[in-house]
Structures are given as structure tokens and as C-alpha cells.
């Protein structure tokens, strides 16, 4: 199995994006293997890899929440096929990010200045689109085997 990631940089922030992959059919059926950047329960430290996810429900004082634990695997637990993680060249998208931030700033100024309701609605619409783009810049990419359509 092979998972190709790309390191994406925004200023000092580093994200890993899954570019493409190939995997055995059996591991997809497990449905609890996560490929992405996780902290391994046994060795610690953040690493990109394939992990078995274990969810523990904790109940305390009438509240409950879920704790997630990740255990790194190097082979498919069913057929034994090796899992290869390839991390390609860095892409620096800092400038693209700064451009979007700048457009947000300009739109905010225009929203403050405009007297036109119609224009304001349009500006807010564009502002929401930009917010979504910003969210996408920082979304952590992980991939759960077995969950794809
Ligand atoms: Zn397999």
C-alpha cells in the first residue's frame, strides 16, 4: 500500500495533504484505520502514518466524552501488505494565504464604508466564501480507510 502526501507550509504551520493512494481491499473493510498525522500512543511524537484508532468513552461526574488513541501500524493487519508513506516536496502557500487575508481586509473596509444594502449583502457573501477558503488552508487532512464512497 502506498500513500503519497505533500508537505504544505503556511508560515511556520505545516500540514500534510494526501495526494493519492493505493491500498488493499481488506484494510478498507476494517474501517478504523486512519492515515494522516497522529501521535502514536506507544512511541509518542507526531508522525504521518497509518494508525489503528481506538475510541474510549469516559464518564465522569455525569459527563461523558470520547478519548481517541492511535497505534501506528506498518502492515495491513489482515493480509500483511506493507504500508508505505511517501512525503513529497514542500509546497509553500504562505503567499496565497496572505493574498486571501488581504482581500478579507479590503472587503471589511468596504463593508464599513458602503451605504448600499445590496452591495453590503454581496460583500458579506464574498466574505463568507473567503472564510471557507481560510478554513480549508488550515484543515488537517486525514483519511479514514473504509469510509470513502
Ligand atoms: Zn490487507
pLDDT exceeds 60 at position 147: no
C-alpha of residue 48 to centroid of ligand 1, in Å = 19
What's the CA-to-centroid distance between 73 and ligand 1, angstroms? Answer: 12
Split at pLDDT 50, 70, 90, the class of 148 is very low
Contact 27, 10 (CB under 8 A): no
1 CA to centre of ligand 1 in angstroms: 9
> pLDDT tens digit string along 62-106?
889 999 999 999 999 899 999 999 998 888 989 999 999 999 999
Query: Cα(87) to centroid of ligand 1, in Å?
Result: 22
For ion ligand 1, residues whose CB falls within 5 Å: 24, 26-27, 76, 78-79, 81
Judge residue 5's burial from the number of C-beta atoms within 10 Å of its C-beta, 0-12 exposed, 13-18 middle, 19 or more buried.
buried
Asked if the model's pLDDT at residue 141 lies above 50, the reply is: yes
- pLDDT for position 135: 85
pLDDT at residue 28, as a whole number: 77
Confidence check: pLDDT of 149 > 60: no
Amino acid at each position: 500500500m502506498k500513500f503519497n502526501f505533500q508537505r504544505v507550509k503556511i508560515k511556520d504551520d505545516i500540514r500534510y495533504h494526501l495526494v493519492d493512494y493505493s491500498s488493499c481491499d481488506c484494510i478498507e473493510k476494517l474501517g478504523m484505520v486512519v492515515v494522516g498525522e497522529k501521535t502514536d500512543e506507544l512511541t509518542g511524537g507526531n508522525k504521518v502514518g497509518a494508525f489503528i484508532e481506538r475510541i474510549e468513552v469516559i464518564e465522569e461526574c455525569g459527563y461523558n466524552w470520547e478519548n481517541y488513541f492511535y497505534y501506528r501500524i506498518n502492515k495491513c493487519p489482515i493480509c500483511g501488505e506493507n504500508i508505505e508513506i511517501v512525503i513529497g516536496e514542500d509546497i509553500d502557500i504562505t503567499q496565497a494565504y496572505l493574498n486571501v487575508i488581504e482581500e478579507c481586509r479590503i472587503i471589511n473596509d468596504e463593508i464599513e464604508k458602503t451605504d448600499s444594502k445590496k452591495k453590503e449583502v454581496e460583500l458579506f457573501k464574498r466574505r463568507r466564501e473567503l472564510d471557507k477558503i481560510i478554513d480549508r488552508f488550515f484543515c488537517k487532512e486525514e483519511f479514514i480507510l473504509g469510509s470513502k464512497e
